[in-house]
Structure 1
């Protein structure tokens, strides 16, 4: 299966056109079927035909960007401790698959560079979340890794932290940006314009407090992607609400549902 690189650097518009299917963002890869944020999880999403793989990036003690969601390695590896207290070499030795199922023993916590290399070799685009606390220098290291691997046209950056997005805008103004939100801002359109983001990405619960915000953001040219949604009832409701994409742990199922209901 060949996935299509998305030329984000050329200004691809992320608004869903009438009649187009929802864009599927595979949350931590195919994380309902494989250990999250691993090469195996990326492969599940890829084989489902999903163009976009969402990932979480944090820094090790020695400043290496690695693909991990939690502030500690405890839940998803056989190790313990905060990711910021461990070196990249220490993290590389951890088993990131056995906790999910014995068949995945030996999966590793990857560096961002390793994930980008996998996407270059096997296909796919990256929705990169800058996770937890960062400095401008650590954000710069993430941006450098993207450019060093020549992947700037296949990466979309998002964060809950506006400052992270401002730093990315300063360092790499051509990279598309998305603002994550657990609660809607008083004026989502204003903050989206201020940050120059292409997408405003709230939780499903946040959107339900003000569903009309989808039309308001669309009028401003801002796409809306909802996280993290795993059931067909919600998929249908969100599609009818006009959202542009869904971040899901079940990308294969959402792809199948989308095809079957069109």
Structure 2
């Protein structure tokens, strides 16, 4: 049975268990689900040249694959043949760039997904429609939240799929933030962990908005956040560190 602390601060595996496997790969997602306390996985989605949602953080291939150039200039089949694992460790050589559909099939009924929409305004509407269509096909509306830094994408998501939960990502805490979320019909806030405070959590809770703090990797930051009584999600590259912080909080 999970502790009250764990339940009030659900663990979100950032790009999968990206501290132990190459980010945004099936290897990282499989590793994340070896920890029973992981309740959510966060991942990033772009469109391929042939309009297939693919799971990768950057708009370019250079950092996390053996390819070069822009994601949108390659087809899904071409992307699937790239090596997205060797950069992390030779053990993961040949790990491919996954399609979003693969991740949905893997996670359905096992773990909830926070899908960050990464496209810019030019292709954003198409990305939203393709992602929403897959979610509908897998009947996962209740298992997913769509998030983005781009307010326009969130508004388009709400137009395309009114039943889907949506959220804004921000690294700041501007005045009127909750009102901005309400005007977008967003019920989720993904915010830099440095901006988390008791007053913000009280305000969001009163407005029915769930909060996720990102990306919390240092043990001291994890311990501080895990000790807060207010409920919110903690997003980390290291679910094992999250678990240690929660256990430490229980023993105090």
TM-score by structure 2 length? Answer: 0.89
- Contact 2:222/2:241, CA 8 A, preserved across alignment: no
Aligned to 2:230: 242
Aligned to 2:159: 170
- Contact 1:204/1:228, CA 8 A, preserved across alignment: yes
Deviations 1:99-144, CA, capped at 9 Å, x for gaps: 11111112110111111112138x2221111113133122101100
Alignment length (residue pairs):
243
1:225 aligns with 2:225: no
Aligned to 1:47: 34
TM-score by structure 1 length? Answer: 0.86
Is the partner of 1:53 in helix, strand or coil? strand
Aligned residue runs from structure 1 range 184-199, under 5 A: 184-199=173-188
How far residue 160 of structure 1 moved from its aligned partner, in angstroms, is 0.8
Deviations 1:213-236, CA, capped at 9 Å, x for gaps: 222222222122111011222123
- Contact 1:73/1:80, CA 8 A, preserved across alignment: yes
For CA contacts below 8 A with separation 6 or more, give which structure has more relative contact order. Answer: 1
Point out where structure 1 has 5 or more consecutive residues left out of the alignment. Answer: 1-16
How far residue 260 of structure 1 moved from its aligned partner, in angstroms, is 4.4
Which of residues 16, 21, 27 is equivalent to 2:14?
A: 27
Is the partner of 1:261 in helix, strand or coil? helix
Alpha-carbon distance between aligned partners in 1 of 2:119 and 2:77, rounded to the nearest angstrom:
21
Alpha-carbon distance between aligned partners in 2 of 1:31 and 1:67, rounded to the nearest angstrom:
13
Q: Following TM superposition, where does structure 1 have runs of at least 4 consecutive aligned residues deviating by more than 3 angstroms?
A: 17-21
1:129 aligns with 2:116: yes
Aligned to 1:108: 96
Root-mean-square deviation (CA), in Å? 2.0
